[in-house]
Amino acid sequence: MVLGTCIDASGLHAQPTPSRSTTQRLMIRAESISVGDYCRLAIVVLSTRAAVVAAAEDSTSARLSAASICDPLLADFSLRALRGDVPAPLASVARIRSGGYAVMRSTVFDAMDEFRSVVSGPQVRDALRRTLDSATNQQLVRVTETAHSLLVLAARDSALSRLRRYERKLGPTSARLNAPEVMLNYAAQRWVPGFAPRPLKGPSPLEIVASYVPTYATIVDKRLEAVSASEFGVRWYLFGEKFGASGARGVLFPSYWSAGVLVVSDRNGALVWPWDDKQRTGGFVSWGAIKLGYVGGRRGEWIVSRQLQIVPFVF
């Protein structure tokens, strides 16, 4: 029971794990309600003296919230369009209404939830039930609860998106780190700008590469030779939905790419220390697990490798 009107709760309140059909009904309803509709109902409520008196000091909060909701630029937007998953309305594209205040506009979602919390209070609810007709009460419930359900759904989707990013970066299709990389990246996510997680985005896509790789290979005089290298660079995780594939599809849509500097010994061979004797430098790039590098020196060499870890936390 909200505002004295009994409405099917399954259609208005977002559940912790809403079904696909419930979400679809919510989206259809949200597309049929404009911000202007919300604004008009907010004005009706604030014009009802009994409701304002019942709200007491909360009436000031309701007025401020209504001021944000009644933004001319957003008036023709449906509640769903505010999420950004459907196109902007024609009137907005035509710039028919372009006024309002950017600072207040940025708080429109919070304003809707604040206004709802005021008008759903028991005393305000009783006052509106006594003074407004049944149709207006029903419409107020429909509009405020639809906006609230969208906000709850958006918060859930945002949380799941952050978890998916963590799975991409730390899960089974991510690169395995050696001990120095573990410590460097653990510290970087706390103290290095660009590597820290963000509240609304989750983990940074960046990761430090600092590894010894004995599995590069090259062709010398038509013979396959092993090359050991030190890599220093960055890895960038791809958080898009189509990326993070495994198996053959992972070659086209991997979880990450990387680039950086290579240091190799002047002597080719497996398990050769890159800093031994004379060193050669070059660069590498990778697309997922496939790595391609080039080093100069006595002769230029193209070298290839696959991202893998033979000894856990070592190389």
Q: Are 54 and 79 in contact (CB under 8 A)?
A: no
Cα separation, 221 vs 203, in Å, equals 46
Query: Is residue 1 pLDDT above 50, yes or no?
Result: no
Q: Would you state the torsion angle of the CA atoms of residues 248, 249, 252, 258, taken in this order, to the nearest 10 degrees?
A: -80
Q: Give tens-digit pLDDT for 128-162.
A: 999 999 999 999 999 999 999 998 888 888 888 88
**Residue pLDDT, tens place only, 25-83:** 999 999 999 999 999 999 999 999 999 999 999 999 999 999 999 988 888 889 988 87
Whether the full predicted model's pTM is greater than 0.85, yes or no, is no
Q: Cβ distance 205 to 237 under 8 Å?
A: yes
Give the span between the Cα atoms of 118 and 124, in whole angstroms.
7
Residue-wise pLDDT for 273-290, tens only, equals 888 778 889 999 999 999
Domain boundaries in the chain?
9-161, 179-306
